Amino acid sequence: MYKFKPILKTLVWGTENWVLSGVPGSESVVAEGPEAGRTLSEVYGGQFPLLIKFIDAHRDLSIQVHPNDELAYARHNCKGKSEMWFIIGASEGAHLYSGLAAAVTPEEYERRVGDGTITEVLADHKVAPGDVFFIPAGRIHSICGGCYLAEIQETSDITYRIYDYNRSGLDGKPRQLHTELAKEAIDFRVADDYRTRYERRGNVPVELVSCPQFTTVLFELTAPLECPAPGAGRWLTLACAGGTGTVNGTALSEGEALLLTPSEKELRLVPSGPSLNILVSYC
């Protein structure tokens, strides 16, 4: 089992805490124990396929989209990005954009980006703690101010920024847009429901997302639990999305993550307070 040093990033809209990353230039380093100082790729034996972040949005992020694996490899020689969000905290009125609310053509998309009305055709969702959104590659989206969430995604830092409210970056210069690159990446289909629906059940594993890139299972605990690890026999990430406790004897608090090796096939989850929420992911 490994715990890594956090990688804190300050951005124009808020902060990101990369707690488990194999992205070149932002790679996690083991924080403690006999292997302290080793990188995630050294521990894993290659680039780890998942990236775990905690995102604290003080302002709206840009309207953006991610390419799928095929397009990303063709353009950038790397993976695309499918991801999921688990809402941990939300201020009053907090919301986010996920998907199209109305059908638009690529030509209308370009016009709306140009005149600043693109958000008028996006699906706008009010959010509360416990809400889940799966964002497959190709879906237009944006996290908005007042949202604090855990993000599980493919190991990729490829983002096409479509619209950014005409604001400058931390360097005072306009942030680069990728409006034309995004057009080919966007899935212009309209879905009936963009939320990930699940039954909230305490003290048992609940699968949230299962896609070709990863599976994520939620544990909402108010009492100790011993059980087989979801995805046993694989490398597992465990992200704490609320409370404090221990995982197989190792302390874990909200905003932290652990990496379990394939040899660790059982979980012993013990809250040290009223509750402990853990997101277990594997691929």
Model confidence at 36: pLDDT above 90: yes
Q: What is the pLDDT of residue 11?
A: 94
In sequence order, what are the residues at sequence separation of 6 or more whose Cβ sits closer than 8 angstroms to the Cβ of residue 282?
Answer: 214, 215, 230, 231, 234, 235, 236, 237
Check: CB of residue 218 under 8 Å from CB of residue 208.
yes
Q: Of 38, 59, 75, 161, which is the active-site residue?
A: 161
Q: What is the mean pLDDT of the chain?
A: 96
Our answer to whether residue 161 is catalytic in this structure is: yes
What residue type is assigned to position 36 of the chain? A
Quick one: average pLDDT of 119-133? Answer: 98
Q: What is the pLDDT of residue 174?
A: 83
**Neighbour tally for 230: CB within 10 Å:** 18
Query: Interior CA angle at 159 toward 278 and 71, to 5°?
Result: 105
Q: What is the DSSP letter of 62?
A: P
What is the band of 166 on the pLDDT scale with cuts at 50, 70, 90? confident
* 70-92 pLDDT tens trace: 999 999 999 999 999 999 999 99
Tokens of 128: 């509360």
Give the rounded percent of residues in the chain with a pLDDT score beyond 70: 100
3-state secondary structure string across 87-141: EEEECCCCEEEEEECCCCCHHHHHHHHHHCCHHHHEEEEECCCCCEEEECCCCCE
Model confidence at 229: pLDDT above 90: yes
Model confidence at 41: pLDDT above 90: yes
Q: What is the pLDDT of residue 173?
A: 85
Tokens of 132: 């889940």
What is the band of 168 on the pLDDT scale with cuts at 50, 70, 90? confident
**Neighbour tally for 206: CB within 10 Å:** 14
**Helix-then-strand count for the chain, H and E:** 4, 21
Rounded CA separation 218/279 (Å): 5
Q: What is the pLDDT of residue 28?
A: 98
Q: What is the pLDDT of residue 23?
A: 95
Model confidence at 150: pLDDT above 90: yes
What is the band of 169 on the pLDDT scale with cuts at 50, 70, 90? confident
Pick the closest to residue 230 from 221, 238, 222 (CA basis).
238
* 190-223 pLDDT tens trace: 999 999 999 999 999 999 999 999 999 999 999 9
Rounded CA separation 51/80 (Å): 12
For the chain, list the domains and their CATH numbers.
Answer: 2-185 (2.60.120.10), 205-282 (2.60.120.10)
Tokens of 178: 């990728």
Rounded CA separation 202/128 (Å): 18
Distances (CA, A) of 247 to 60, 85, 204, 225, 256: 34, 22, 15, 10, 12
Model confidence at 4: pLDDT above 90: yes
Rounded CA separation 277/218 (Å): 7
